[in-house]
A and B are shown apart, each in its own frame.
Chain A
Amino acid sequence: MIPSGGFVAALAGFDQMTIARLKWLLAERTPEQAFAMATGALAVSKPVASLFSRYPDLAARWRAEGKRHTPERSWQRCVDAGVAVVMPGDTQFPAQLLDDPRCPAALFVRGDLDVLDARRVGIVGTRNATQRGRETASEFGYELAVAGVVVVSGLARGIDGAAHRGALAVEGSRPVAIVGNGPDRPYPRQHADLWAAVAERGALISEWPPGTQPDAFRFPLRNRILAALVEVVVVVESRERGGSLITAREAAERGVEVLAIPGSLHSRASAGTNQLLRDGATPATDVTDVLVALGLDQRRAGRARFDSRPRPRDEELSLLEACRGEPRTIEGLLLLFDMSIAETAMGLARLERGGWLRETGGWFEAVDQWADLA
């Protein structure tokens, strides 16, 4: 006997399957019946009949897909990847999603959904983040985890990963990730360690079954789930039309408070967050602002991280200070100080070695103590 989760996993993996179609298939039918309908083995329900009549090729397509994605194989994939299939009728299904206008048809979960019983904050932002932005995300992730808050993010490159890394640095923390592809396929691949850690300690949630590719269209969809699952969303950095603005909008529509971190007017990475602030989002200048938004006691337990870096002095300190406000090139620094290029290069090399500066593409950014998690 294959559990009904195998039938859902198979259906969700079909080519040209959408969340709406999956819901039509499952409407007043068991997963077994839905699979039989979709593959032509059972008379179709009214919504599915109308679907097939509108897309004449779909029935044949899905009949073929049924041979590729058999319930047996799909279930085996779930078992192999340690993925549970959770549907709205199940007791573990997150209550926050049940009355959502766009409730998922099923969730594919690694880890433990009970972590959603705690206080929950989403941290989102651009993949093309600045060093400063990633550090802020790590700092917030860390401090929120210290306060016992569950950090929810998307495990993407940039802000997402930094937030998770910050949260995971706190012993006993249980972060949650909402991902846009199969929960068994770490994406981006550099985040494989983060995926494993989140699944192991908290929960890693996807609307798509194991094996699903990271297609671009799936990412905006997962933002609505993230928005629905949290109490507060913090946008750390976002482009003028970034995906995290979609999350912010999804959150606002659901009455979830949106906080944004103010950024430099010159930084593209802060164009979206600054716009959010103009549109009425609450500015977050440190974690206290988030804790206040959650209604939590903002006096934080003194678990501050120890900064072990040797303090720079003299010219090195001046160079460091200059790179704190905004990233600088060596040319830009030479204009600011009366130093030779050799002296400047030497100062920068020592600051890099001391862990105070980081260089990318010829730009130097000051690194704060959160850099190792960012």
Chain B
Amino acid sequence: MFASISSAVLFGAEGQPVNVEVHVDKGLPAFNVVGLPDESVRESRDRVRAAVMSSGASWPRHRITVNLAPSRGRKTGSGLDLAIAIGVLVAGGSIPIESVRNLAFIGELGLDGSLRPVPGVAPMAGALGDAELVVPIGSALEARVVALGRTRPAAHLREVIEALMGDLPWPDREPEPLPVADEPVSDLSEVRGQPLARRALEIAAAGAHHMLLIGPPGAGKTMLATRLRGLLPLLGRKQALEATMVHSAAGAPLPPSGLVQRAPFRAPHHSSSAAALIGGGSHSLRPGEISLAHGGVLFLDEIAEFAPKVLNGLRQPLEDGTVRIDRSRMHAELPANVLLVGAMNPCPCGGGAPGACQCGDAALNRYVQRISGPLLDRFDLRVNVNRPAVDDLLDDQPGESTAVVAARVAAARDLAWMRQGGVNSELVPAHLEQFAPLESSARLLVRHEIEHDRLSGRGYHRVRRVARTIADLRGEPSEVVLEQDVAMALRMRASIGRPSAIGRVA
């Protein structure tokens, strides 16, 4: 007897449909799985067999061959267990073949027959079209967010067998609520003082400008960066689905709704490998932190301490908003549209007021070189963050709340969308004159910087993009960027290391 059961596997953050083909024929009892199975698929043989026995069904005493089609590509994960078990029972004649028509099965089996959730159910469900989907109850919510067809949450293999044999109705259990992701978002009002840095957060959120925070230890760079999350708009439907797929694929916690809607915030440690940050790795193709931050903030604290190779790997994804992974016979694309926030000390000793730095020239140069060049170019905003003044810490007046600032951010984003159909950080030089013209006094200010060798060509475009966002945040639709907007933008281009005698080029 022969059976073909629909299931899916995960590749990167994409699901790929798999047909589990099972042959049961006369011969010595045996159980083989072919179709490039990896270690975990082979292990599933033992789980499947034990689970079937535990469910009270009979295991065919014949030669059983399982083929995973298409045979191309490496099958990964334990999510095929349920489909294999059902295939064996159908091919062995225990379950009528008509009952599995237009059904798909995803889930890992325990030895006792229990159904266990696996990572990546959301993208897998997305790959299965409108099939009715049998999933572990722990995966039901994320499956429902994506699946086009009906989902059938089940707790045990026995329930599935009974429903397929028509003995009992589908259990259709209530989906288990997901473990709560880190939902409470810290509020901006908790930041005391720091008016310049607060302003920078608002500008970063409104224009989607990558931001580098430069300040001594204890200046509150991390506290500020975490507040950026609440300022970003909720993800749109498409981006939310993409983010959910990535979270599901990585086995990262999902919010109670199952859909990632709030901008993610990821803060990988500076010892992270390229695989952990960008994704890939030898064969599992787990999404990296940059994809988990899709639609939100990727925060790299102590950015100068990351391995240069790892930072270099960020360049292409930042450019394209996508991570591309090529393996011998497979290509995966993972979404990676992030707002990058870096934080670093101004110099190895921490710096401070003028004259406080004690670093030698050589040490300082080595430090500066770690974060110079193409990656540094990506930061439209470079902000000096100082320890808050004592008066500010004593002041009980809370600053503006996240909600107030987020409303301004949303309005500014709307202005940019209406004007140029995108965020200001994506304004290319050719469009600056059209979308961000300068009033004449603003032009004088910029020209002075250039004439004094304190503004490079790239820095010039950065200042103009940022000034456009600052103008949008004023709230009054203003075609022209004013002198005050440029003056503020000029405060957002701190340099690293010691300025040269002529000042600084940024």
Interfacial residues, chain A to chain B (CB-CB below 8 A): 126, 128-131, 133, 157, 161, 188, 190, 237, 239, 267-269, 326-327, 329-332, 334-335, 341-343, 345-346, 348-350, 353, 358, 360-363, 365
Contact = CB atoms under 8 A, between A and B. Distances in A.
Contacts of A327: 353-354
A326 B499 CA distance: 19
A146 B279 CA distance: 66
B195 A361 contact: no
B196 interface: yes
Contact of A334 (B195, B484, B494): B195
A334 B486 CA distance: 19
B237 to A, nearest CB: 36
Contacts of A361: 214, 346, 351, 354, 384, 494-495, 499
A131 B498 CA distance: 13
B386 A362 contact: yes
A237 B196 contact: no
Interface stretch (B266-274, B280-288, B387-395): B387-395
Contact of B354 (A157, A350, A353, A360): A360
Contact-size category for B:
35 or more
A331 B357 contact: no
Given A268-B355, A335-B389, A362-B386, A343 B484 contact: yes
Contacts of A346: 483-484, 487-488
B98 interface: no
B485 to A, nearest CB: 8
Given A188-B361, A330-B491, A349 B355 contact: no
B139 interface: no
A343 B392 CA distance: 20
A164 to B, nearest CB: 12
A239 B349 CA distance: 15
15 contacts: A126-B355, A128-B358, A130-B355, A267-B353, A269-B356, A331-B389, A335-B389, A341-B196, A341-B488, A345-B487, A349-B483, A361-B499, A362-B386, A362-B494, A363-B354
Nearest to A263: B355
Contacts of A349: 445, 483, 486-487, 490-491
B195, B386, B483, B501: which has the most chain A beta carbons within 10 Å? B501
A342 B503 contact: no
B397 to A, nearest CB: 12
Contacts of A335: 389, 391-392
Give the most central of A326, A342, A361: most B CB within 10 Å.
A361
Interface of B: 193-196, 199, 214, 346, 351, 353-358, 361, 384, 386, 388-389, 391-392, 444-445, 448, 483-484, 486-488, 490-491, 494-495, 499-501, 503-504
Given A345-B488, A353-B445, A129 B193 contact: no
A128 B491 contact: no
A344 to B, nearest CB: 9
Contacts of A326: 353
A133 B355 CA distance: 9
Contacts of B504: 360
A348 B491 contact: yes
B75 to A, nearest CB: 55
B361 A329 contact: no
B448 A353 contact: yes
Nearest to B502: A190
Contacts of A363: 353-354
Nearest to A239: B358
Nearest to B497: A361
The 4 residue pairs across chains A and B that have the minimum distance between CB atoms = A362-B384, A269-B355, A349-B487, A346-B487
B392 to A, nearest CB: 7
A345 B490 contact: yes
A165 B30 CA distance: 91
Nearest to A326: B353
Contacts of B484: 342-343, 345-346
A342 B195 CA distance: 11
A133 B356 CA distance: 13
Contacts of A358: 503
A362 B195 CA distance: 13
Given A343-B484, A346-B487, A349-B486, A331 B392 contact: yes
Contacts of B490: 345, 349
Contacts of B193: 331
A237 B196 CA distance: 31
Contacts of B384: 329, 361-362
Contacts of B195: 330-331, 334, 341
Nearest to B490: A349
A332 B389 contact: yes
Given A269-B356, A327-B354, A331-B392, 19 more contacts: A133-B355, A190-B501, A268-B355, A327-B353, A329-B384, A330-B195, A331-B195, A332-B389, A335-B389, A335-B391, A348-B487, A348-B491, A349-B490, A349-B491, A353-B444, A358-B503, A361-B214, A361-B499, A365-B354
Nearest to B360: A216
B491 A267 contact: no
Contacts of A342: 484, 487-488
Contacts of A343: 484
Most buried by B among A126, A130, A268, A345: A345
A331 B445 contact: no
A345 B391 contact: no
Contacts of B355: 126, 128-130, 133, 237, 267-269
B199 A341 contact: yes
Contacts of A268: 353, 355-356
B488 A329 contact: no
A104 to B, nearest CB: 26
Contacts of A331: 193-196, 386, 388-389, 392
A130 B354 contact: yes
Nearest to A157: B361
Contacts of B501: 161, 190
Most buried by A among B355, B389, B448, B487: B355
A363 B444 CA distance: 23
Contacts of A332: 389
A83 B84 CA distance: 87
A188 B361 CA distance: 9
Contacts of B491: 330, 345, 348-349
A2 B361 CA distance: 38
Nearest to B196: A330
B354 A131 contact: yes
Nearest to B199: A341
A153 B445 CA distance: 37
Query: Which of B354, B386, B444 gathers most chain A CB within 10 Å?
Result: B354
